[in-house]
Amino acid sequence: MIWETVRLALLALRRNKLRSGLTMLGIVIGVAAVIAMVTVGQGSSRSVTDRVASLGTNVLSVRPDRGPGPGGVSVTRAFSLRDADALAELPVIGTLSPTVNSTQTVVAGGQNLSTTITGATSGYLVTGNWTLLRGRTFSPSEDRSGTAVCIIGETVRRALFGNSDPTGQQMRAGNVTCDVIGLLQAKGAGTFGQDQDDIVLMPIRTVQRRFLGNDNVNTISAALAPGVSAARGIREIQSLMRERRRIAVGEEDDFSVMDMAQLASILTGINAVLTGMLSSVAAVSLLVGGIGIMNIMLVSVTERTREIGIRLAVGAEGRQVLTQFLVEAVVLSLVGGIIGVAVGLALAFGASLYMAIPFAPQLYVVVLAFGFSALIGVVFGYFPARKAAALDPIDALRHE
Amino acid sequence: MSEPPLIELSDVSRTYGSGETEVRALNHVDLTIQKGEFVAIMGPSGSGKSTAMNTIGLLDRPSSGRFLFNGVEVQGLDRDRRALLRRHFLGFVFQGFNLLPRTSALENVELPLIYKGMPRAERIERARLALHKVGLEGRENHDSSQLSGGQQQRVAIARALVGEPMVILADEPTGNLDSHRSHEIMKLLQALNRDDGITIVMVTHEDDIAAYAGRLIVFTDGQVASDGPVPERTRA
List alpha helices for chain A, DSSP H.
2-15, 17-55, 81-88, 124-127, 140-144, 154-161, 204-207, 230-244, 260-303, 305-313, 318-355, 363-389, 393-398
Higher pLDDT, residue B231 or A51: B231
Per-residue confidence (pLDDT) for residue B1, from 0 to 100: 54
Please report the pLDDT score of residue A52 as a whole number: 67
Q: Which residues of B touch A6 (CB under 8 A)?
A: none
Q: What are phi and psi of A222, to 5 degrees?
A: -130, 125
**What is the rounded average pLDDT for all residues in chain B?**
92
- Tell me which chain B residue has its CA closest to the CA of residue A11: B103
Using DSSP's 3-state secondary structure scheme, residue A101 falls into: strand
Asked whether residue B28 is domain-assigned, the answer is yes
The answer to whether residues A192 and A183 touch, using CB atoms and an 8 Å cutoff, is no
pLDDT (tens digit, 9 = 90+) per residue, B148-165? 999 999 999 999 999 999
**Average pLDDT in the A173-180 region?**
91
Question: Does B123 contact A at CB distance below 8 Å?
Answer: no
Nearest Cα to Cα of residue B68 among B34, B95, B45, B41? B34
Q: Is pLDDT above 70 for A190?
A: no
pLDDT band at A121 (very low <50, low <70, confident <90, very high): very high
Q: What is the CATH number of the domain that holds B21?
A: 3.40.50.300
CB contact under 8 A, A315 and B117: no
pLDDT band at A298 (very low <50, low <70, confident <90, very high): confident
Query: pLDDT per residue over A23-47, tens digit each?
Result: 888 889 888 988 888 888 888 888 7
Instruction: Let me know if residue B1 belongs to a domain.
Output: no
Quote the minimal CA–CA distance from B185 to chain A in Å: 20
pLDDT class of A274 with cuts at 50, 70, 90: confident
Q: Which residue has the higher pLDDT, B37 or A18?
A: B37
Residue B171: inside a domain:
yes
* Angle ∠(B14,B17,B19) on CA atoms, nearest 5: 110
pLDDT confidence band for B107 (50 / 70 / 90):
very high
Q: Does A315 contact B84 at a Cβ distance shorter than 8 Å?
A: yes
pLDDT tops 60 at residue A352: yes
Cβ contacts (< 8 Å) between B14 and chain A: which residues? none
Q: Do B112 and A315 touch (CB under 8 A)?
A: yes
Is pLDDT at B135 greater than 70 in this prediction?
yes
Q: Report the number of distinct structural domains present in chain B.
A: 1
What are the chain B neighbours of A316 within 8 Å (beta carbons)? 83, 87, 115
Closest chain A CA to residue B82: A315
- Which positions in chain A touch B99 (Cβ < 8 Å)? 310
* DSSP single-letter state for residue A211: I
pLDDT at B106 over 90: yes
**B116–A315 CB contact, under 8 Å:** yes
In this predicted structure, the answer to whether residue A376 has a pLDDT above a threshold of 90 is no
What pLDDT digit, counting tens, does each position of A320-351 carry?
A: 888 888 888 888 888 888 999 999 999 999 99
Mean pLDDT, residues A54-59 taken together: 66
Q: Confirm whether B95 is domain-assigned.
A: yes
For range A269-285, the mean pLDDT: 82
Lowest mean pLDDT among A1-15, A146-160, B102-116: A1-15
pLDDT band per the 50, 70, 90 thresholds, residue B231:
confident
CA–CA dist A62, B205 (Å, integer) = 102
- pLDDT score recorded for residue A203: 94
- Which pLDDT belongs to residue A56? 58
**B83 and A316 in contact by Cβ < 8 A?**
yes
Quick one: DSSP state of residue A90?
Answer: S
Contact A394 B60 (CB under 8 A): yes
Contacts of A393 in chain B (CB under 8 A): 59
Q: Which residues of B touch A15 (CB under 8 A)?
A: 101-103
Report the DSSP pairing between strands B199-203 and B167-171.
Answer: parallel
* Contact: B59, A317; criterion CB under 8 Å: no
Out of A1, A4, A394, closest to residue B54 by CB = A394
Contact B88 A315 (CB under 8 A): yes
Tell me, yes or no, whether B119 lies in a domain. Answer: yes
Please say if the pLDDT value at position A311 is more than 70: yes
Tell me, what's the pLDDT at A346? Answer: 94
B101 and A314: CB-CB below 8 Å?
no
**Is B150 contained in some domain?**
yes
In this predicted structure, what is the pLDDT of residue A1? Answer: 63
Please tell me the distance in Å from B195's CA to the nearest CA on chain A. Answer: 23
Please judge whether B87 and A306 are an interchain contact, meaning their C-beta atoms are less than 8 angstroms apart.
Answer: no
Confidence of residue A258 (pLDDT cuts 50, 70, 90): confident
The answer to whether residue B189 sits within a structural domain is: yes
Which residues, numbered 73 to 92 in chain B, qualify as contacts with chain A under a Cβ-Cβ cut-off of 8 Å? 79-80, 83-84, 86-88, 90, 92
Helix%, strand%, coil% for chain B, nearest 5: 35, 25, 35
Long-range contacts formed by A107-110: CB under 8 A, 24+ apart: A107/A160, A107/A171, A107/A172, A107/A173, A108/A160, A108/A161, A108/A166, A108/A169, A108/A170, A108/A171, A108/A172, A109/A160, A109/A161
ipTM here: 0.91
Q: Residues A337, A369: contact at Cβ < 8 Å?
A: yes
How close is the nearest chain B Cα to the Cα of A309, in Å?
Answer: 9
For B138-197, write each residue's pLDDT tens digit: 899 998 889 999 999 999 999 999 999 999 999 999 988 999 999 999 999 999 999 999
Q: Which residues of A183-212 are buried (b: 16+ CB within 10 A; e: fewer)?
A: bbeebeebbeeebbbbbbbbbbbbbbbbbb
- Give the domain range for residue B137: 7-229
pLDDT in tens, A67-118: 776 677 777 888 888 888 898 888 888 889 999 999 999 999 888 899 999 9
Residue A57 confidence (pLDDT) above 70: no
Nearest Cα of chain A lies from the Cα of B217 at a distance, in angstroms, of: 22
Chain B residue with minimum CA distance to A315: B87
User: So what's the pLDDT on residue A55?
Assistant: 61
Is the model more confident about A292 or about B225?
A: B225
- Give per-residue pLDDT as tens, A232-249: 888 999 999 898 888 888
Percent of chain B clearing pLDDT 70 (strictly above): 100
Q: What is the pLDDT of residue A280?
A: 84
CA distance A147 to A141: 9
| Other residues' Cβ atoms within 10 Å of the Cβ of residue B151 | 19
Band the pLDDT of B105: cuts 50, 70, 90.
very high
Band (B125; pLDDT cuts 50, 70, 90): very high
- The whole-number pLDDT of residue A192 equals 64
Contact B159 A314 (CB under 8 A): yes
- Does residue B2 belong to any structural domain of this protein? no
